């Protein structure tokens, strides 16, 4: 008889997991609310347990509140923001569809990459990193390219700009195209009226404005987007993110007609507890109060940065309250400062990404971290490090 030996080489890392935590003032993840972490550590239930199904329904309702939408097809995707981003494209793009992407930073380019992988005829318009598109520019581009989908990032985490969205819904309806918006760094923290602004497809993440760890990602699609999905000539080319299947696990078809709950994949149960708690905390505060809190704390940060002699990369009118890009003074090594902050003060800030690498720091004030005492802590530490 063959005998097998146990390979002991990889049996243990040096010690059990010990993470004491850090102040996360970078582009995300942001610090999770302790109440969310407590909810996350509750015992898992089965993915079709009646108590879990109730929690799923509550999460859908609370997500509709956070997005200000009545979209039936509103669920959290099991995965991070990129999974929900992929879900918007996977369900609606058919080979040859023109997808117009308005790119003004790193995440716009990710949309270009993903849309191309689903066979879209991708058209790209660009703006320098740190600027926004105006309605006239987007109107001209839609008239020229006649897209099936216009995709744009509301909160570009790589540059710190907040893209105005008013008027785009009307423009897209006039030209019979869907409006897809990345709300990863805005949901819960930056004014967003999904239905009133005529947004058809949107996605977000858990780890920023919602104060939750990463791993579950809000997703929504309007009846117009559902119609495009249902009239496809080709099969949805991504099984895991197929909303026509997933909708049944969430209790209805994509139009909202009740259906028996059917297993699709094993939901990440504890991430769903966490998101449900995070959304409950947001609802208890009131969405408009959260938007205002984020704006006020960002303004406190901007004033403090100015006092330290630092300036922001983005014009004030288009600055994101959740993510501020700060110009790195000429004589300073951006990375060395970020490393010092981490090692000496247990505090993370982000470095510039892509075109802005080495030129800016990225400071996030999101969800649980958007509070005046945390802004003052951060400013105090920055002062110590930059002006010792
Ligand atoms: N879109 C934007 C604007 C982002 O900032 C991010 C991540 O930071 C993503 C998409 C991707 O999300 P995730 O990293 O959660 O997959």
Q: What is the DSSP string of 130-158?
A: T----HHHHHHHHHHH--SEEEEESEETT
Q: Is residue 12 part of a domain?
A: no
Residue 270 Cβ inside 6 Å of ligand 1? The answer reads no
CATH number for the domain spanning 336: value is: 3.90.1150.10
Residue 54 domain boundaries: 34-283
Q: Write out pLDDT tens, residues 207-234.
A: 999 999 999 999 999 999 999 999 999 9
Q: Is residue 13 part of a domain?
A: no
Residue 81 Cβ inside 6 Å of ligand 1? The answer reads yes
Whole-angstrom distance, CA of residue 27 vs CA of residue 113 = 21
Closest CA to 364 of 325, 317, 309: 325
Residue 361 Cβ inside 6 Å of ligand 1? The answer reads no
Q: Is residue 4 part of a domain?
A: no
Q: Is the pLDDT at 388 greater than 80, yes or no? A: no
Which parts of the chain are beta strand (E)?
23-24, 73-78, 98-103, 121-126, 149-153, 155-156, 161-162, 178-182, 201-203, 216-221, 323-327, 347-348, 350-351, 360-364
- By most ligand atoms within 8 Å of CB, the mutation choice from 101, 205, 208, 351 for ligand 1 is 205
Q: How confident is the model at residue 300 (pLDDT cuts 50, 70, 90)?
A: very high
Closest CA to 160 of 368, 36, 327: 327
Residue 325 Cβ inside 6 Å of ligand 1? The answer reads no
Residue ending a domain, choose from 283, 302, 326: 283
The answer for 386, left when phi > 0, alpha when psi is -120 to 50, beta otherwise, is alpha
Closest ligand 1 atom to the C-alpha of 105?
3
Whether 275 and 298 share a structural domain: no
The answer for 309, left when phi > 0, alpha when psi is -120 to 50, beta otherwise, is left
Residue 91 Cβ inside 6 Å of ligand 1? The answer reads no
Q: Is residue 247 part of a domain?
A: yes
Q: Which of 15-19, 157-161, 338-342 has the lowest mean pLDDT?
A: 15-19
pTM for this model (two decimals): 0.97
Closest ligand 1 atom to the C-alpha of 208?
8
The total number of structural domains that make up the chain: 2
In the reported structure, the alpha carbon of residue 217 is separated from the centroid of ligand 1 by a whole-number distance in angstroms of 10
- What percent of the chain clears pLDDT 70, i.e. is strictly above it? 100
Whole-angstrom distance, CA of residue 290 vs CA of residue 282 = 7
Question: What mean pLDDT comes out for the span 144-150?
Answer: 98
- By most ligand atoms within 8 Å of CB, the mutation choice from 27, 77, 79, 82 for ligand 1 is 82
Residue ending a domain, choose from 242, 258, 283: 283
Enter the DSSP assignment of 312.
B
Report the chain's mean pLDDT, rounded to a whole number: 96
The answer for 218, left when phi > 0, alpha when psi is -120 to 50, beta otherwise, is beta
Q: Write out pLDDT tens, residues 152-171.
A: 999 999 999 999 999 999 99
Looking at residue 241, its pLDDT comes to 98
Whether 333 and 257 share a structural domain: no
In the reported structure, the alpha carbon of residue 87 is separated from the centroid of ligand 1 by a whole-number distance in angstroms of 13
Residue ending a domain, choose from 283, 304, 331: 283
Looking at residue 14, its pLDDT comes to 75
Closest ligand 1 atom to the C-alpha of 214?
15
In the reported structure, the alpha carbon of residue 29 is separated from the centroid of ligand 1 by a whole-number distance in angstroms of 10
Whole-angstrom distance, CA of residue 101 vs CA of residue 141 = 10
Q: Is residue 3 part of a domain?
A: no
Looking at residue 251, its pLDDT comes to 85
Q: Write out pLDDT tens, residues 45-61.
A: 999 999 999 999 999 99
Residue 107 Cβ inside 6 Å of ligand 1? The answer reads yes
Whether 63 and 153 share a structural domain: yes
Q: Write out pLDDT tens, residues 74-126.
A: 999 999 999 999 999 999 999 999 999 999 999 999 999 999 999 999 999 99
Question: What mean pLDDT comes out for the span 193-218?
Answer: 98
In the reported structure, the alpha carbon of residue 329 is separated from the centroid of ligand 1 by a whole-number distance in angstroms of 27
Closest CA to 271 of 26, 28, 45, 22: 45
Closest ligand 1 atom to the C-alpha of 83?
16
CA atoms within 13 A on the CB side of 10: 1
Looking at residue 108, its pLDDT comes to 98
- Please check whether residue 28 is in contact with residue 205, taking contact to mean a CB–CB distance below 8 angstroms: yes
Q: Is residue 255 part of a domain?
A: yes
Q: Is residue 151 part of a domain?
A: yes
Radius of gyration of the chain (CA): 22
CATH number for the domain spanning 113: value is: 3.40.640.10
Q: Is residue 334 part of a domain?
A: yes
Q: How confident is the model at residue 16 (pLDDT cuts 50, 70, 90)?
A: confident
In the reported structure, the alpha carbon of residue 121 is separated from the centroid of ligand 1 by a whole-number distance in angstroms of 23
């Amino acid at each position: 008889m063959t005998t097998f030996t146990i390979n002991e080489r990889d049996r243990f890392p040096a010690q059990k997991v010990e993470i004491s935590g850090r102040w996360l003032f970078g582009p995300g993840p942001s610090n999770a609310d302790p109440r969310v972490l407590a909810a996350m550590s509750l015992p898992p239930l089965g993915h079709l347990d009646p108590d879990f199904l109730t929690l799923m329904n509550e999460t859908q309702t609370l997500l509709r509140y956070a997005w200000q939408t009545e979209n039936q097809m509103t669920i959290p995707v099991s995965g991070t923001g990129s999974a929900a981003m992929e879900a918007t494209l996977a369900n609606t793009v058919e080979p040859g569809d023109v997808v117009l992407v308005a790119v003004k930073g790193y995440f716009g380019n990710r949309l270009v990459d993903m849309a191309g992988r689903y066979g879209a005829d991708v058209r790209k318009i660009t703006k320098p990193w740190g600027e926004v598109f105006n309605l006239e520019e987007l109107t001209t581009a839609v008239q020229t390219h006649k897209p099936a989908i216009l995709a744009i990032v509301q909160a570009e985490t790589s540059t710190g700009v907040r893209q105005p969205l008013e008027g785009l819904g009307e423009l897209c309806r006039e030209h019979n195209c869907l409006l897809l918006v990345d709300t990863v760094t805005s949901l819960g923290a930056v004014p967003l009226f999904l239905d009133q602004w005529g947004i058809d497809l949107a996605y977000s993440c858990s780890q920023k404005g919602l104060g939750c760890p990463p791993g579950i990602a809000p997703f929504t699609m309007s009846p117009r987007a559902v119609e495009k999905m249902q009239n496809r000539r080709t099969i949805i080319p991504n099984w895991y993110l197929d909303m026509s299947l997933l909708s049944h696990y969430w209790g209805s078809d994509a139009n909202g007609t009740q259906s028996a709950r059917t297993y699709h994949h094993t939901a990440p149960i504890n991430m769903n507890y966490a998101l449900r708690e995070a959304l409950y905390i947001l609802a208890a505060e009131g969405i408009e109060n959260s938007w205002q809190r984020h704006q006020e704390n960002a303004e406190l940060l901007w004033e403090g940065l100015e006092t330290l002699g630092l300036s922001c990369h983005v014009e004030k009118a288009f600055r994101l309250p959740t993510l501020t890009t700060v110009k790195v003074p000429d004589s300073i090594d951006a990375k060395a400062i970020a490393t010092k902050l981490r090692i000496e003060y247990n505090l993370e800030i982000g470095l510039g990404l892509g075109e802005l690498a080495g030129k800016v720091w990225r400071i996030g004030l999101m969800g649980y971290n958007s509070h005046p005492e945390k802004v003052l802590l951060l400013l105090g530490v920055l002062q110590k490090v930059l002006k010792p």
